Chain A
C-alpha cells in the first residue's frame, strides 16, 4: 500500500515540502545563521504596514463575503430543490472561470472609461468618472467576488443539516419568524459561518493576482511583498522570511479553528 502512495507522495515532498523547507532555511541561513531577515520584517515600516494592510483587507473581505453570502445560502436552503440547484450553480459558475479572466472583467467594469462609469454618466448621476479601480476598493470588490463561493458552500452545507421542524416548533410555540431565526437558526448555522470565514480569510491572506492587477501599486499585500523581493530586489532572504511569517499565520489560524470545528468541514469543499 505504501508503494501505491509513493509516487504521489514523492511529488508532494519534492514540490511543496522541500520548497517550503528551503524557504524556511533560507530565511535563517545566509553564510551562517542570522535573524536579520526577521528583524527587518518585524521592525521595518513597509513590512509590518503590509502585514497590517493584508489583515485589514482580509477581515473586510471576510465580513463582506459573510454579509453577502449568508442571505444567498439561506435562500438556497429555503426554496424547492430546483431553485436551490439554480442558485448554487450561479454561485459556482464564476468559481470555474480563471481568476485572471475575472480580474480582467473587473478592470473592464470598474476603470475610468469602464462600463459602470459610462453607465453612471449616461444616467447623469456623476459628472466625473469615479476612481473605482487601481485602489483598495477595486481590490476588495474583485477579491470578494472570487472568494464568495468559498463562503456560500459551507454555509449552505451547514444549513442543510438544520432540521426544518425546529423552526416549526419555534413557530408553534408562538415565536415570531425573526425570533426563531435569531434564537434557533442563526446559532445552529454558526459552524458553517466559522468554516466559511476561515476559508475566505486564509485564502485572502495569500491573494496575489487581484491586488497586483487591480490595486494600482498602492495596495501592497504580503504576497506582493514576497514577489517584489524576489523579482525586483533579489532579496531572497527577506522574501523567504515574509513567506514563512505568512505561512505560520495561516497554520496558526487553522490550528485555532480546529479547536472548534473539524478541519474537514473547512477543507471539505473544493
Chain B
C-alpha cells in the first residue's frame, strides 16, 4: 500500500486549480450568450436567445460571417495543395537547400504576428490589395501553410517511399504514382493540416485588423472593434458559435490523425 503523501495532495490541488483556470473562460461564454440581461451578469437572470437572434438578423454581422467563411475556405483550397507539394518535395529531395526552404516555410510561426501584419499592410498599400478579398486570402494562405506542411511531413515520415518506387517501376509516372499510392496513405494528415489551416484563418485577427476594410471585414475584426467600444452579449453568442465550430473541427482532425496512427 502506498500512502498518499502531502506533496502528492498539494500536486493534485494545484493542478486542479490550474486546469480550472484554463477551462473556466471557455465555459463561461455559453451561459452569458443565453442570458436575457443587457449587461454581463452571472449567473444569468433568465434564459433567452435574443443575442443569437440579434446576430442572425444583423446584416453587418452576417456579411462579416460570409467574409470569414469565404476566406477560410479559399485559404484551405490554396494552402493545402501548396503545402502538400512542398512537404512531399522536402521529404523526398536530398538537396541541401531544402533544409533552408523547410525553415523558411515555418517563418510565419516565428515572426511575431504584429510585425507580419504591419509589413503586409505596407506592401498591400503599394499594390492596392488593402481591403480586398484576394489580399485577405493570400495573407491567410501564408499563415496557414506551416500547419499543412508540419502535419503532412509528419504523415510522410511513417510512409515508406519504396512503395512509390514500386509503382513507378511498374510503369506509372511520378504524378500518377503519387496520387494512386502516396496520397491515399497520407490522406489523414492532409485533412488534419487543412482543418488546422481553416481554423487558423477563421480565428486570425491581427493581420485582418490592418489589411481588411469596407465590406471585406471578417468576423474577428468586427468583434475586436465591438470589444473596444462597447461590450454587447451578441459577442458572446458569436464566440459560442465560433468555439463550437473550432471544437468540432479539432475533433474531426484528431480522429483523422488517430486513424493515421
The residues of A with any CB-CB pair to B shorter than 8 Å are 1-2, 4-5, 7-9, 11-20, 22-23, 26, 68-69, 71-72, 74-75, 87, 90-91, 93-94, 96-109, 111, 113-115, 118, 145, 148, 177-178, 202-203, 205-206, 208-209, 212-213, 223, 226-227, 230, 236, 239-240, 243, 246-247, 250, 254, 267, 270
* Chain B contacts for A90, CB-based, 8 A: 19, 22-23
> Given the interface contacts A4-B88, A15-B142, A72-B19, does A213 sit within 8 Å of B228 by beta carbon?
yes
- The answer to whether A5 and B101 have CB atoms under 8 Å apart is yes
- The answer to whether A209 and B40 have CB atoms under 8 Å apart is no
- The answer to whether B22 and A91 have CB atoms under 8 Å apart is yes
- The answer to whether A15 and B11 have CB atoms under 8 Å apart is no
* Chain B contacts for A239, CB-based, 8 A: 118
Chain A: CB-nearest residue to B17 = A68
| Interface size in chain B (residues, C-beta < 8 A) | 84
Minimum CB–CB distance from A88 to chain B (whole Å) comes to 10
* Chain B contacts for A105, CB-based, 8 A: 25-26, 28-29, 239
Q: Which of A26, A105, A246, A254 has the most CB of B within 10 A?
A: A105
* Chain B contacts for A108, CB-based, 8 A: 28-29, 32, 40, 42, 231, 236
Q: Which B residues between 12 and 33 are near A, CB-CB below 8 angstroms?
A: 12, 14-15, 18-19, 21-26, 28-29, 32
- The answer to whether B142 and A11 have CB atoms under 8 Å apart is yes
Listed A/B pairs (13) with beta-carbon separation below 8 Å: A4-B85, A4-B88, A4-B89, A9-B86, A11-B142, A12-B104, A19-B118, A97-B26, A107-B227, A115-B40, A226-B115, A230-B210, A270-B147
- The answer to whether B112 and A246 have CB atoms under 8 Å apart is yes
> Given the interface contacts A4-B86, A98-B220, A100-B203, does A206 sit within 8 Å of B25 by beta carbon?
no
The stretch that binds A, out of B51-59, B165-173, B179-187, B243-251, is B243-251
Complex alpha-carbon distance, A11 and B139, angstroms: 9
> Given the interface contacts A17-B104, A102-B26, does A206 sit within 8 Å of B239 by beta carbon?
no
- The answer to whether A101 and B29 have CB atoms under 8 Å apart is yes
Chain A: CB-nearest residue to B243 = A97
B7 within 8 A of A: yes
- The answer to whether A208 and B242 have CB atoms under 8 Å apart is no
> Given the interface contacts A100-B205, A206-B115, does A9 sit within 8 Å of B104 by beta carbon?
yes
Minimum CB–CB distance from A178 to chain B (whole Å) comes to 7
- The answer to whether B112 and A206 have CB atoms under 8 Å apart is yes
- The answer to whether A16 and B7 have CB atoms under 8 Å apart is no
Chain A: CB-nearest residue to B205 = A100
Q: Which B residues between 99 and 157 are near A, CB-CB below 8 angstroms?
A: 101, 104-116, 118-123, 138-139, 141-142, 145, 147, 149-150
Complex alpha-carbon distance, A74 and B7, angstroms: 12
Minimum CB–CB distance from A192 to chain B (whole Å) comes to 17
- The answer to whether A208 and B206 have CB atoms under 8 Å apart is yes
Complex alpha-carbon distance, A103 and B88, angstroms: 38
B46 within 8 A of A: no
* Chain B contacts for A267, CB-based, 8 A: 106, 109-110
- The answer to whether B19 and A15 have CB atoms under 8 Å apart is no
The 8 Å CB contact of A213, one of B41, B145, B227, is: B227
B224 within 8 A of A: yes
The 8 Å CB contact of A100, one of B93, B196, B227, is: B227
* Chain A contacts for B236, CB-based, 8 A: 104, 108
Chain B: CB-nearest residue to A141 = B21
Chain B: CB-nearest residue to A239 = B118
Complex alpha-carbon distance, A75 and B22, angstroms: 16
Minimum CB–CB distance from B129 to chain A (whole Å) comes to 10
> Given the interface contacts A1-B92, A17-B107, A177-B5, does A87 sit within 8 Å of B19 by beta carbon?
yes
Complex alpha-carbon distance, A69 and B18, angstroms: 8
Complex alpha-carbon distance, A111 and B145, angstroms: 37
B90 within 8 A of A: yes
Minimum CB–CB distance from A97 to chain B (whole Å) comes to 5
> Given the interface contacts A5-B101, A8-B86, A111-B40, does A23 sit within 8 Å of B220 by beta carbon?
no
* Chain A contacts for B90, CB-based, 8 A: 5
Chain B: CB-nearest residue to A69 = B18
